[in-house]
Structure 1
Amino acid sequence: MSDAENCSTLAQSDRRKMMKVNDRVTVKTDGGPRRPGVVLAVEEFSEGTMYLVSLEDYPL
């Protein structure tokens, strides 16, 4: 499985390729609908790629 396929299980970009900072994505949540957000940071590790996503409707 490629990094792009592996990462898209939780967050998906509209273009279904490697996500970049400022890309609009949707994030899968436990038992709920996908939630829209924006990628704030991307960090590459030997185990894969980690994305920091700001959700539009994150409750405070």
Structure 2
Amino acid sequence: MTQIAYGMVGGGPGAFIGDVHRKAIRMDGLAVLKAGSFSRDSEKSKAHGRELGIEDDRLYSDYR
């Protein structure tokens, strides 16, 4: 089965809806989180991305 790679903006630690969205999108196994910017604080964003198993070169300090 081919999975769709997706990225997420926001939804870092303390953001309730980010975790809900990640859980929902994993339910059918059709998508996999590959990139993100999870917080305005670049270090928090990178730390959370690492917790989620995202490679460092796909973790961004802002949405741009």
- Shared fold (TM-score greater than 0.5)? no
TM range (shorter): under 0.3
More helix by share: 2
More strand by share: 1
The two structures have a TM-score, normalised by structure 2, of 0.22
